[in-house]
Amino acid sequence: MRAFDYAMRQGWASLWRSRGSSTFAIVAIALAMIVLGALLLVTWNVEQLLAQWSSAAEFSVYLRDDATSEQRGAIESLIDQSGVTAGREYVSKGDALTRFRREFAELASLTTGFEDNPFPASVEVRVRSDADADGRAEELVRRLAAAPGVADVRYDREWLARIASGLATIRAAGLALATLMAIAAGVTVATVVRLGLYARREELEIMELVGAPLTFIRGPFIAEGLLQGGLGAVMAVALLGLTYGVVISWWGQDLNALFDGGAVEFLPPRLLAYLVAGGMAVGSAGGFAASRHAG
Amino acid sequence: MIETHHLSKVYSRGLYALRDLTLTVNKGEFVFLTGPSGAGKSTLLRLLLRQERPSEGELFVNGQNLATLKRHEIQEYRRGVGFIFQDFKLIRTRTVLENISFVPEVIGVPPAQQRRRAFQVLKWVGLQHRMNAYPLDLSGGEQQRIAIARALVNDPLLLLADEPTGNLDPDLSLEIMNLLREINAGGTTVVVATHDRELIRLVGRRTVTLDQGRIVEVA
C-alpha cells in the first residue's frame, strides 16, 4: 500500500513536472480512445438495431388460391404446435389488397385493372427470438414450405446476416486501426516517461544504492503512464460525448429515422468504463516499458 | 564483518582491478583503504556495496556471500549498508531534510518515522538549522555532513566511504573524519577509501594499502 501511495504521488508529481511533454502522450492516448470510442458508438448502436430486428423476426406463409380450409387448418396447427412462434395472424386475399392500397397509396391504381384479386392469402407468423437464433424457425419454415396448400414461405434473414457481417468487417478494421493507434500512444507514453526517468536519474541511483524495492523504483513510472492513459481516455470520453451531443442536436431526427425510429444512444456507462480502463492499460504498458530502464 | 578470500575483479581485456585479495575486517573496526589511483580501492567498495560481482574468490559480509545474492537479497543487504561518496550524491531538487528522509521513504518506512529519524540524524551532524535548504545552497563540508546523515538514517552495520574528503579542505576533512570516528564508536564498521596519507596519520587506524589490485601493506 505504501509502495502504491508512493508510486501515485511521485507519478503525479512527475507528470506535472513534465506537463508539456506529457500533453503529447495524453493527446495520443485520447486520439486512440476516440477512434475506439467512435467505433464502439457506431457498432453498439447498429448491434442494438440488429437485436431489435432479430427479436421482431416474422415470416409469411403464402397460401395457394385453391388451398382448402382443411389445409389452412393443418398449416395453422403445424405453426401452433411448433413451439417456436410468438403469435400468428391470418391475412385474407381481401385484407392483403386493402393493406397494399393503404401502404402504397401511390401504386393503388395498379390494382384496379384486375378482374381477380392478385394478392394471395397468407399466415403471418411472429418468431420467438430464441427460435430464430438457434435455427428452429428455419426448420419450421422448411416444413411449412413442403406442406399442402402452401404457395411460398418468405423468411429472408440473409440481409440481417449481411449487415451483421458488414458490421463485423467494420469492427475488425476499426479495431485494427485503434490497436495501431494504441500502440503508437503506448510508445509515446514510454518515450515521455523515459524522459522523466533521465531527469530523475540521481534519485534512481540513490534508490538502487539504499536497497529500495523494485516496486518503489519502477512504480512511479508505471503510475505516471497510468495517469497519462487515464487522463487521455477521460478526455476522449468527454470529446465523444460533446460530439455526440452536437451531432444529435443537428441531425438527431435523420439518424433516428435511419435507425428505424429508434433513438441513437450514447455509450452505456459499462462501455465508457472499459474505454477509460483501456486508456489506463495502454498508459501503464508504456510506463512499464519505460520503467524497465529504471533498475 | 568482512572477509575476502582470494578475491579478484577482472574487467574486459583481462585487466585486473583487484587480484587475489585476502582480507578480514572485524565487526566494529575502522579501516582505511589507501593507495594510488587505480589501486583498486573504489572497486573493493563497489564489490562491498554489491554494485559489482567478484570475478574470482569469495566475499562475505556478515556471513553473507555477496556473489550469490539474488536481486531482492541485494536490496535487503544494501539496507544495512551506508555509503558516502566524494561527490556527495545529494538530490538537488530536494531539501536537506527530504534528502535524508528519502532513504527511509523508498524502503517503505511509515511517514512519521521517516521524518523523525531524518531529523535525529540531521541534528546529530549539527545541521538541523539547514533542514529546509537545498544542497546547492550548502558548502562542501555541509553537503558531506548531509551525505553522512543520509548514510546513517537506516542505522547501518557497515559504512563505506569513497574519498569522503576528496573535495574538502584539510580542516573540513578532519571534521568529517571525526564524525566517522564517532559513528564507529557507536559500533558501526567503517571502511574509508582515501589517498590522503596525512589524514590517515591524524586519525591513526588500521590501514590497508593497495597497489595494482594487490595488498602491499597492512599497517
> ipTM, 2 decimals?
0.84
- Count of CB pairs separated by less than 8 Å, A with B: 47
Interchain CB distance below 8 Å, B108 and A2: yes
pLDDT band at A234 (very low <50, low <70, confident <90, very high): very high
**Cβ atoms of residues B32 and B203 within 8 Å:** yes
* pLDDT score of A75: 92
Domain termination residue (choose one: A156, A180, A199): A156
A99 and A210 housed in the same domain: no
A150 and A168 housed in the same domain: no
**Cβ atoms of residues A181 and A31 within 8 Å:** yes
The upper half-sphere exposure of residue A149, i.e. CA atoms within 13 Å in the direction of its Cβ, equals 17
CA B170 to chain A, closest CA, distance in angstroms equals: 27
Q: Which residues contact A197 (CB under 8 A, 6 or more apart)?
A: A204, A221, A290, A291, A293, A294
Residues of chain B with C-beta less than 8 angstroms from the C-beta of A207? 106
A275 and A172 housed in the same domain: yes
Average pLDDT over residues A154-173: 79
* pLDDT score of A90: 92
A81, with CB counted inside 10 A (0-12, 13-18, 19+), is: exposed
* pLDDT score of B141: 85
Ramachandran angles phi, psi of B159, nearest 5°: -120, 125
Residues of chain A with C-beta less than 8 angstroms from the C-beta of B110? 2
B198, with CB counted inside 10 A (0-12, 13-18, 19+), is: exposed
> Is A6 within 8 Å of chain B by CB?
yes
Which chain A residue's Cα is nearest to B150? A210
> Is A13 within 8 Å of chain B by CB?
no
> Is A202 within 8 Å of chain B by CB?
yes
Q: Which residues contact A158 (CB under 8 A, 6 or more apart)?
A: none
A106 and A184 housed in the same domain: no
A42 and A165 housed in the same domain: yes
Query: For B2-54, what is each residue's pLDDT tens digit?
Result: 999 999 999 878 788 899 999 999 999 999 999 888 888 899 999 999 999 99
pLDDT at A255 over 90: no
> Is B83 within 8 Å of chain A by CB?
yes
pLDDT at B56 over 70: yes
Interchain CB distance below 8 Å, B75 and A2: no
Of residues A151, A153, A152, A148, the one with CA closest to residue A68:
A148
> Is B134 within 8 Å of chain A by CB?
no
Query: For B94-128, what is each residue's pLDDT tens digit?
Result: 999 999 998 888 888 888 888 889 988 888 888 88
> Is A167 within 8 Å of chain B by CB?
no
pLDDT at A186 over 70: yes
Range scoring the smallest mean pLDDT among A130-139, A150-159, A228-237, B100-109: A130-139
pLDDT at A238 over 90: yes
Residues of chain A with C-beta less than 8 angstroms from the C-beta of B107? 210-213, 216
Query: For B164-196, what is each residue's pLDDT tens digit?
Result: 888 778 888 888 888 888 889 988 999 999 988
Query: For A81-138, what is each residue's pLDDT tens digit?
Result: 888 888 889 999 889 888 888 888 777 777 777 778 888 999 998 887 677 667 788 8
A237 and A137 housed in the same domain: no
Reading the block at residue A203, the C-alpha cell is: 534519485
Query: For A187-196, what is each residue's pLDDT tens digit?
Result: 888 888 888 8
A247 and A107 housed in the same domain: no
Domain termination residue (choose one: A130, A156, A182): A156
Best to test chain B binding among A16, A17, A210, A292 (most B CBs inside 10 Å): A210
| Partner residue opposite A209 with nearest CB, options B72, B76, B78 | B78
Interchain CB distance below 8 Å, B107 and A205: no
A176 and A134 housed in the same domain: no
pLDDT at A201 over 90: no
More confident residue, A114 or A41: A41
* pLDDT score of B179: 85
A105 and A224 housed in the same domain: no
Tell me if the pTM is above 0.90.
no
A31 and A165 housed in the same domain: yes
Reading the block at residue A92, the C-alpha cell is: 385474407
Domain termination residue (choose one: A138, A156, A174): A156
A49 and A179 housed in the same domain: yes
**Cβ atoms of residues A232 and A29 within 8 Å:** yes
Domain carrying residue A280: 2-53+160-291
Interchain CB distance below 8 Å, B107 and A212: yes
Ramachandran angles phi, psi of A175, nearest 5°: -65, -40
Task: Tell me the C-alpha distance between A274 and A280, whole Å.
Answer: 10
Q: What percent of chain B has pLDDT over 70?
A: 100
Interchain CB distance below 8 Å, A203 and B102: yes
| Partner residue opposite A6 with nearest CB, options B76, B79, B105 | B105
pLDDT at B155 over 90: no
**Cβ atoms of residues A54 and A160 within 8 Å:** yes
* pLDDT score of A132: 67
| Partner residue opposite A210 with nearest CB, options B51, B72, B103 | B103
Strand order in the sheet with B2-11: B15-25, B2-11, B56-61, B64-65
Q: What percent of chain B has pLDDT over 90?
A: 37
Residues of chain B with C-beta less than 8 angstroms from the C-beta of A213? 72, 75, 107-108
* pLDDT score of A262: 67
Average pLDDT over residues A19-43: 88
A193 and A47 housed in the same domain: yes
Task: Tally the domains of chain A.
Answer: 2
